[in-house]
Chain A
Amino acid sequence: MNDPRLYQIGTLASLLVYGMGWLDFDITPGRVALLLTTVLATQWIGDRVSRTGSSFGSSARSALISGLSLCLLLRTNRTELAIAAAVITIAGKFLIRIDSKHVFNPTNGGIVAMLLVTNQVWVSPAQWGTETFFAFLMACAGSLVVTRAARTDVTFAFLACYCALLFGRSWYLGEPAAIPWHRLESGALLLFTFFMISDPKTTPDSRIGRLLFGALVAWGAWYVQFRLFRTNGLLWSLAACSTLVPFINRIAPGSRYVWSTSPAALTSSRTLRAA
């Protein structure tokens, strides 16, 4: 499979079907269709208006990943807010750019923006339960195999730091190891780790930058959860840390990532540029 996004789309779609069929996710097939249609339509309009030159066939894959992630994470009873979230998710890629590169992971940016402006949307981090954690883990780990060419170092840096912080805190407080383990057995954490923070388009270009970025996101998530006592620490932290990426790229430059849709594109010097 040349484009790792196809595997991601397959995995996210399977998780969505599983969540709707077996875990009673608060989302209807109609809402799924609406979100996916809206992200694709916004992407199509964005491509036309911004004249990026990229084919809709390729950019639609990214939009689908964002749309499926929204379906998995975002909850609201109001249709207009769901549409707004989908539009903001994709429009953010075109509107908030630094150095010709979008700043926020689209889904992350869309959800955080909605959480900031209304109390009518929410994310249910515990909706996955823990019963099927290991099957979930396997599906996510599979994405690492497929995206081996992509930037998985940020995933490992984040996971290592986040585990260290969780276990370190519990060790300091004298809590049993069952507590940090329980916190790690979270579908929301896996989804975040393997499908959101690992987004190669919004992570720093250099390896050292990505390792730093992963560590910062982990610390921020921990801080939000255990110092500010707020929900969705992972999402808030990633959004906040994403604003630092342009600075990290200045300090530690690297080559920019481009999705490969064909073997030729992988070696195309036109699409890779040294920063």
Chain B
Amino acid sequence: MKRTIFAAALVSMITWWTPAVRAFCGFYVAKADTKLFNKASQVVLVRDGDRTVITMANDFEGEPKDFAVVIPVPTFLTRGQIHVGEKALVDHLDAYSAPRLVEYFDQNPCELADRVPMAMRAASVLEARPGVGGRGLAKSLGVTIEAQYAVGEYDILILSAQQSSGLETWLRENGYRIPAGASDVIGSYLKQNMRFFVAKVNLPEQARLGFKYLRPLQIAYESPKFMLPIRLGMVNAKGSQELFVYALTRNGRVETTNYRTVKLPSDVELPVYLKQPNEFAGFYKAMFARQANDRAGRAVFLEYAWDMKWCDPCSADPLSNDELRRLGVFWADDRDSRVFLSRLHVRYDAAHFPEDLVFQETGDRANFQGRYVLRHAWTGQDVCAAATDYRQTLVERHAREAEQLSQLTGWTMADIRTKMGPEAPVRVQPAAWWERLWRP
């Protein structure tokens, strides 16, 4: 059976005043991780100077024998520059940086005097094989097999070629299912002196190693190119694709230089029914779709930007230096542990993302996270002037929460009111101004 090129999503890679540190309060409730999205690719992009380490994780669910990946890379890679990583590390990074839901509980307004400002309640945060094709055939097609390696359960080839058609033919003849129209894209990468990294699964080796899933591939190289080639994956792709980039850098936030990088709406108060199972996931997907659409489908979204040393609230513990090193953060040790994580989320297709993603590292170390807030109402029966006022503001708050949810997701107010149940905003006549005038 022909191998399906999983270039799809995969990123066909080639490659006096400090910012205010805000303490966030709130109990962590849930996260919206990458598992929400079908066919999502995840790439960990470690970069410092010209040194780059890329970890490519995929959610390929077919037979391992059908798996293959073709990735443009900017330089030749020796055996030592290729490694098989651990999916658990990527999952940890995903969990650590995922947009999160936090909740607060209103206090009895009659005891307001006892209230402690949020900024002082930080403690309340939960800590939460060779043999592919023949060299003879390759030569006749102008394709050079520059190297072939067996790395873990993968057979890897580094290919260069004089002509894209030769490389395309070679790949087809060797059982790789190349989408029609890929030739032009392959050609443009070849003319830029890029090599092709081709990997497929060595089934006996996989059986021997005992892994039931495909572990992520890692490559390390030195090149001024700070980019991810996505064009090959878009050839003949149906619909848009989902890509998560976790950029780990020393200096600060990473952004794209050829597409606008936009912060996802954050710190928004929403109706508390979102705490119910699957509601937050549904909210997040709808919100992301609307945000992408509002920006003409051409923006890259920043979901998280944080110093790796800490988090608040934590949806997962920060990664240890050891974990970071295994992900390729080569400078992380006891002396230098400055690691800044930027989580970028891209929904792309050929119409809106004609060229590869190009990045730059900025000096921005300001913290940002996709954070959505639930505030549970106080439901006590105490009677006092403050409680009366509180109940009035509660009605306004619930109305505001519903409107914000509707604006972010495009959901109708009628649907939101139904789901909010007893908390649904009701149109009440606001108290007349004189009703408070001579109240004791």
Q: CB within 8 Å of B: which residues of A?
A: 23-24, 26, 75-80, 118-122, 124-131, 172-176, 178-179, 181-183, 228-231
Contact = CB atoms under 8 A, between A and B. Distances in A.
Interface in B338-367: 354-355, 358, 360-366
A118 B251 CA distance: 11
Contacts of B296: 129-131
A80 B363 contact: no
A178 B234 CA distance: 14
B160 to A, nearest CB: 16
Nearest to A26: B364
Given A119-B251, A183-B355, A229-B226, A76 B363 contact: yes
Contact of A129 (B226, B299, B355, B361): B299
Interface stretch (B120-128, B149-157, B256-264): B256-264
A78 B192 CA distance: 38
Interface in B256-283: 256-263
A129 B17 contact: no
Given A77-B364, A174-B187, A228-B224, A126 B256 contact: yes
Interface in B354-391: 354-355, 358, 360-366
A75 B362 contact: yes
Contacts of B255: 124, 126
B191 interface: yes
A132 B427 CA distance: 39
State the majority secondary structure of interface residues on A.
loop
Contacts of B412: none
Contact of B295 (A75, A131, A182, A183): A131
B421 interface: no
Interface in B134-189: 164, 184, 187-188
Contacts of A126: 255-261
Interface in B172-217: 184, 187-188, 191-192
A85 B143 CA distance: 51
A173 B363 contact: no
Interface in B192-250: 192, 223-227
Given A75-B362, A124-B255, A230 B18 contact: no
Nearest to B250: A119
A173 B362 CA distance: 30
Contact of B354 (A76, A124, A172, A178): A178
Interface in B37-89: none
Given A125-B257, A126-B256, A128-B260, A174 B188 contact: yes
Contacts of B187: 173-174
Given A130-B296, A228-B224, 12 more contacts: A77-B19, A77-B365, A77-B366, A80-B17, A126-B260, A129-B296, A131-B295, A174-B188, A176-B354, A179-B354, A183-B355, A231-B360
B31 interface: no
A121 B362 CA distance: 7
19 contacts: A26-B364, A77-B17, A77-B363, A77-B365, A78-B16, A78-B18, A122-B364, A124-B255, A128-B260, A129-B299, A130-B298, A173-B191, A175-B184, A175-B355, A176-B354, A179-B355, A182-B258, A228-B224, A231-B358
Contacts of A125: 257-258
Contacts of B364: 26, 75, 77, 122
Interface of B: 16-19, 164, 184, 187-188, 191-192, 223-227, 251, 255-263, 295-296, 298-299, 354-355, 358, 360-366
Contacts of A26: 364
A230 B224 contact: yes
A118 B363 contact: yes
Contacts of A129: 260, 295-296, 298-299
A79 B365 CA distance: 14
A79 B355 contact: no
Contact of A174 (B16, B191, B225, B366): B191
Contacts of B362: 75, 122, 124
Nearest to B16: A80
A183 B17 CA distance: 35
Contact of A229 (B164, B184, B225): B225
A176 B260 CA distance: 21
A77 B354 CA distance: 32
Nearest 5 pairs of A and B residues by beta carbon: A120-B363, A129-B260, A178-B354, A173-B188, A229-B224
**Of B187, B226, B260, most A-chain CB atoms within 10 Å:** B260
Given A120-B363, A126-B256, A77 B261 contact: no
Nearest to B187: A174
B33 to A, nearest CB: 25
Nearest to A81: B363
A176 B298 CA distance: 18
B327 to A, nearest CB: 23
Contacts of A23: 260
A179 B16 CA distance: 42
Nearest to A186: B258
**Of A125, A126, A182, most B-chain CB atoms within 10 Å:** A126
Contacts of B184: 174-176
A177 to B, nearest CB: 9
A169 to B, nearest CB: 10
B355 to A, nearest CB: 5
A24 B262 contact: yes
A29 B255 CA distance: 23
Nearest to B351: A178
Contacts of A124: 255, 257, 261, 362
Contacts of A75: 362, 364
